Amino acid sequence: MTDNSLIPPSPSEDDYVRQVTTAEPPPLLSEEDPFALFGEWMKEALAKEPNDANAMALSTVDADGLPDSRMVLLKDVDPAGFVFYTNLGSAKGRQLAVNPRAALLFHWKSLRRQVRVRGTVAPVTSEEADAYFATRARPAQIGAWASEQSRPMGERLALEKKIAEVGLKFGLGKVPRPPHWSGFRLSPLTMEFWRDRPFRLHERLVFTRAGAGWTTDRLYP
């Protein structure tokens, strides 16, 4: 095996034994409501994660069937699904327009937990997008107008010039939401909750949509 000092070694048996002796075994995850469980975990992550507890990996598929992933921020969640916003001309925006299915991954390293979500995607309403856009800081609103997200830019000066032009256009007035900027809601078909346990014997609980409710399965680690 090639020696690579960048990759940490696997935990030793002693490391695992220390985990077992210092950690009280938690009760099994609840099988009642995946969104309630997600809400509990998100609250804990907001209290412990140093940066962007609402960050999630969003995976889409391009026209050739090649997966594409990037980090985005969760901006709303309720029983209808998980909401994020983007430039509709971005790679993810174009891919979702053609194939409106996606996957999300939340990883909270400080909690040693992750949540995987897969489902169908639909645009949010104009009212929802307008309401969220109004909460953004003004420089971020101007940036949404100026950036041709995911497209070749050339020199950085091109972006800075467009930001200045947009700033002059709107002056001190309200910055409206650009027509090319909106949001998507992923309605989950499956949600998997993963919790670290010693010796790689992790806990995995999967919720699968079944009509208006859910079925559950516990998976081998």
CB 186 within 8 A of CB 210: no
User: 72-111 burial, b for 16+ CB within 10 Å, e for fewer?
Assistant: bebebbeeebbbbbbbbebbbbebbeeeeebbbbbbbeeb
Q: In angstroms, rounded to a whole number, what is the distance separating the alpha carbons of residues 104 and 72? A: 10
Helices (H) and strands (E) in the chain, counts: 6, 9
Structure tokens at 15: 């490391």
185 noted as active-site residue:
no
- Among 138, 151, 200, 218, the active-site one is 200
Active site residues: 200
